[in-house]
Chain A
């Protein structure tokens, strides 16, 4: 019974939402909307679970003096600072929380992202080499697209026509294949869950 009930709940919920997508019926629409709102609430509570997990994980690291426990103190302090000022102040758009977001979180994340450009260039320097025919083709394609992105803003812009061709013909063909494959995979996975073959909720 402990195994059957979750399967029944999952299958009935999925079939109801799926039926709501194809069939227009007042009761079915109401049930479908209610289930979707439940899903949103559950997804929102995932943040609460993640918050607790971060707190207990880093607290344990501090108590056990694990490697980098000083950074864990910073994480805990930052977490409680935002929480306290979020509850005491005017919510997420209060002055303190907005200031932290605008002048701490925003530039820090942008800095990390900017560093990615340097690492990507180092990786490109090492990776793009003429080892095989495939790697040579990849090198030429990447160089052409990169040149196209760059040339559109320079006096070399006529070269960008080649980039547009690469992106609109071979690259788009590949992307469409990927998207179709993903769609078929999602369909197959959904059907397996609906008939109870896959039970990701019980793992």
Chain B
């Protein structure tokens, strides 16, 4: 290695310039070739670069100069090539070339450049073409093989030699001797060493085939003993549908992989460990809601079971709608015809029956004849049960007209009908004209009062809008408490003569009637539960404040 005197970089032996900084690595002392400018050793007689003689030319003789032979340094073909293709710096160099008169015996000393492979010549030209005055590197001292790959064939096992993946390179031929002279730096640095047998890695050792024992002769197959295949041999055995997978050899019987296969078989046979059941506590939000539900449940159950609280001890004012309702019914003469609409679903019956029952009891006490009708398919069944509960005699005191479809259209048709819109009663299927107690009423004519028990705004407004304008009979309504705000405007306008809104109003009605019933028992309990609910809401509002969930 030659170390650069400028930057200290290690350069290849024979280099003229530093590969790092470009500084000159060889001294300029010596004899400069007059042809190519290369520096030669003082003892050299010929230029190591171009082969030109380094001896000074003999003094010119008296012989005329034109008689002396003029021999160019380069062969004629090279000169032509330089003239045609050389770059500018070579053109300048050519200008310096002087015709040299060589002795006869030295004319053939010029190295035959064309005998070497073209790429080697080009490589030298590109990599080691010296600048002016630079000398060529000395030839290598000893021959080196082009590739220092050492195959120890005798140490490799036979099975590895037969492996298809490894192909031994052919023996270097004698015709490639010139290649040994070539220095390939990158190839010298990547010397491949084939590992010896002791260094074969485990994964490669695992591929070593296991010598198989001589196969035993196959056992004689047993013949079928029963069934339609009795006496036949060589039949396939029935395979289990479920079970551990069979042991499948992985690319031959390999020791290490077979061991891994057995481990896999053990893992398959192992039963998975059942993780311990960890009961996760519900989130805080869910726990809070469960607590709220429990509080509400207690707020309803405890008063119901203990009979507390009761009606207020004071004398709270009766709601005006309740009082009007009561006075309207109270003003009916005995034997009046009352049309009662049951327009609510069964899920509202808990509240609506508490509202309807005292009214029916009142009508019963007044000796009214009641016809029940419904805009809801489930209404006739609810009306029938409540009418019987209030003590009406069917056919004489009340009749069930059944269900009228179409809501607004049905109500409009009922209001404009000349006779009974529904021809047969709900319970017995008899013509309505066959009930002597109701001979004087037809359709919506002849009624003294229309009572609406409604749980939906559509049916309530349908009665008021479609029927209220076509009948002369007054209309009163009993609704669920949530519908009361929708009904109160019609109470104020006079379209409704009375209004019962929810269980509390029904309790007041019972108090006015003097017959306490379900509403009287349930309304205080409902009020207590409402107070608890209000308390829960206020506590939640104060505790949670302005924060977001």
Say whether A172 contacts B523, CB under 8 Å. Answer: no
Over the window 140-161 of chain A, the binary record of Cβ atoms lying under 8 Å from chain B Cβ atoms (1 yes, 0 no) is 0011001101111111010010
- Chief secondary structure at chain A's binding surface: helix
- Chain B binder among A63-71, A73-81, A105-113, A191-199: A105-113
Q: Which of A106, A121, A171 contacts B537 (CB 8 A)?
A: A121
Say whether A121 contacts B292, CB under 8 Å. Answer: yes
Say whether B410 contacts A112, CB under 8 Å. Answer: no
A11: CB under 8 A from chain B?
A: no
Quick one: which of A123-155 are within 8 Å of B by CB?
124-126, 128-131, 139, 142-143, 146-147, 149-155
Residues of chain B lying within 8 A (CB to CB) of residue A143: 534, 537-538
Q: Which residue of B lies closest to A117 (CB)?
A: B296
Taken together as a complex, chains A and B put the C-alpha atoms of A42 and B546 apart, in Å, by: 53
**Known: A101-B378, A121-B292. Contact between A91 and B410, CB under 8 A?**
no
7 example contacts (A-B, Cβ-Cβ < 8 A) are as follows A40-B404, A102-B385, A124-B536, A125-B536, A151-B527, A164-B319, A167-B484
- Chain A binder among B157-165, B171-179, B199-207, B486-494: B486-494
Extra inter-chain contacts (6) besides given A92-B381, A124-B537, A129-B547, CB under 8 Å: A109-B346, A118-B297, A122-B292, A130-B541, A157-B314, A175-B486
How far is the CB of A33 from the nearest CB of chain B, in Å? 5
Count of chain B residues near A, Cβ 8 A:
71
Taken together as a complex, chains A and B put the C-alpha atoms of A33 and B444 apart, in Å, by: 14
B384: CB under 8 A from chain A?
A: yes
Quick one: which of B343-377 are within 8 Å of A by CB?
345-350, 377
Residue picked from B309, B345, B349, B409, most chain A C-beta under 10 Å:
B409
Residues of chain B lying within 8 A (CB to CB) of residue A40: 404-406, 409-410, 413
B197: CB under 8 A from chain A?
A: no
Q: Which of B297, B346, B540 contacts A126 (CB 8 A)?
A: B540
User: Which residues from chain B sit less than 8 Å from chain A, CB to CB?
Assistant: 288-289, 292-293, 296-297, 309, 311-314, 316, 319, 345-350, 377-378, 380-381, 384-385, 404-407, 409-410, 412-413, 416-418, 426-427, 429, 461, 481, 484-486, 488-489, 492, 502, 504, 507, 523-524, 526-531, 533-534, 536-538, 540-541, 544-549
A184: CB under 8 A from chain B?
A: no
Q: Which residue of A lies closest to B507 (CB)?
A: A153
How far is the CB of A176 from the nearest CB of chain B, in Å? 5
